[in-house]
Amino acid sequence: MATDNQGPLWEVFVQKKSGQPFVHCGSLHAFDKEMALGNARDLYTRRGEGSALWVVPAAAIVASSPEDIGPFFEPANDKVYRHPTFYQIPEGIKYI
Amino acid sequence: MTTKEALYQYTLRLGDAGLILSQRLSEWTSKGPFLEEDLALTNITLDILGQANLLMEYAAQLEGSGKTADDLAFRRSERHFFNPLLVEQPNGDYAQTILRQYLIDVFDFLFYTELTQSADATLAALAAKSVKEITYHVRHTAAWVDRFGNGTEESHARLQKALNELWRFTDELFEMNEVDEVLLKEKIAVDLNKIKPIWKQQVYATLQQAQLSIPENVFMQTGGRKGKHSEHLGYILTEMQYLQRTYPDAKW
């Protein structure tokens, strides 16, 4: 099986039921959009996993890098007031 | 010929077409051009085998002597298979496999769509299940015909070569005999004369889109309906029936 010329990489997102979020489930190789969608159907929905599919060229995804963990995500760790559970709700309040 | 005999022959013929085609296609499993396409073709192969299995089970039931689908699949010789010659032709390169599959997919789509209207409830139900699967098959193979035809010089040349090789087997798909006549009266069978022009129109459009020239004045091959096959079927059966021939009634 050829390994050198399988086409660009695509990321696959499956929606289990209408209304639910599309969840990333894997990747595949394909040469064009239609082939990518077909391959996604054949690879990732053979056992009733979904009712809708997205395929996205992997190159189109902008990703954070491991070095970004510090500046991107750690500042959120000590800001408990960003969680709703931080606030006590006074008794007797009906609408919030 | 009674309606029941004709219905058995008809169902068996349809089952044979699917069985031999899926056996042929399965030769590609694990050897596809790349992983994703390997799985895609194997999915198609399994769909077709599943369709054939249901048809064989129904045929065995119609035959009425207690035979099973396995008996029909593994204990008949070449002359008792009634598939069209096209399905037994060698896979060749991937262009040839795809083209053969495309020609059959369009036929099957039109055929099984019509068969959903059959007066025989079992065939109609089998057809309804098959149409959904075949709708996807056509989409897959038509896209490849387009890619090969409008791809590189080499892919185009290979597809044209495949067309030149396989075109002579296409007329046979529409052949009808006494079996069809008996069942047409009962509104059970599909009138193949009715779907032939639609098949031609669709296939010509796709092939022209793929910049292929359709062979003209071809001598059309025939024989499958009568059990007269090309030399290839014998080899397919030898492999497919090996286990049952070597170890009759083997179970695991």
Chain B nearest-CA distance from A42, in A, is: 6
Task: Give contacts of A29 with chain B, Cβ < 8 Å.
Answer: 34-36
Confirm whether B252 is domain-assigned: no
Nearest Cα residue in chain A from B28: A1
Per-residue pLDDT tens, chain B, 252 aa: give them: 999 999 999 999 999 999 999 999 999 999 999 999 999 999 999 999 999 999 999 999 999 999 999 999 999 999 999 999 999 999 999 999 999 999 999 999 999 999 999 999 999 999 999 999 999 999 999 999 999 999 999 999 999 999 999 999 999 999 999 999 999 999 999 999 999 999 999 999 999 999 999 999 999 999 999 999 999 999 999 999 999 999 998 887
For residue B129, give Cα distances in angstroms to B106, B109, B123, B215, B244: 16, 11, 10, 34, 30
Is A2 in a helix, a strand, or coil?
coil
Reference B77, options B233, B222, B226; nearest CA is B233
Confirm whether B251 is domain-assigned: no
Rounded to 5°, angle at Cα B189 from B56 and B169: 75
Is A21 in a helix, a strand, or coil?
coil
Residue-range definition of the domain harbouring residue B121: 3-246
Query: Cβ separation of B34 and A46 shorter than 8 Å?
Result: no
- The total domain count for chain B is 1
- A2 band by pLDDT with thresholds 50, 70 and 90: very low
pLDDT tens digits, residue range A45-71?
A: 988 899 999 999 999 999 999 998 888
For residue A19, give Cα distances in angstroms to A16, A53, A91: 9, 13, 35
Q: What is the pLDDT of residue A76?
A: 84
Q: What is the pLDDT of residue A91?
A: 86
Q: Is A8 on the interface with B (CB under 8 A)?
A: no
CATH number at B87 reads 1.20.1260.10
- Show Cβ contacts of residue B32 under 8 Å, excluding neighbours closer than 6 positions: A1, B38, B39, B40, B41, B42, B94
Q: What is the pLDDT of residue B62?
A: 97
Helix (H) or strand (E) holding A51: none
Query: Cβ separation of B140 and A6 shorter than 8 Å?
Result: no
Task: Compute CA B148 distance to the chain's CA centroid, rounded to the nearest angstrom.
Answer: 22
What's the ipTM? Answer: 0.78
Can you give the pTM of this predicted structure?
0.90
In sequence order, the β-bridge partners of residue A12 are A26, A55
Report whether pLDDT(A1) > 50.
Answer: no
How high is the mean pLDDT of chain A?
89
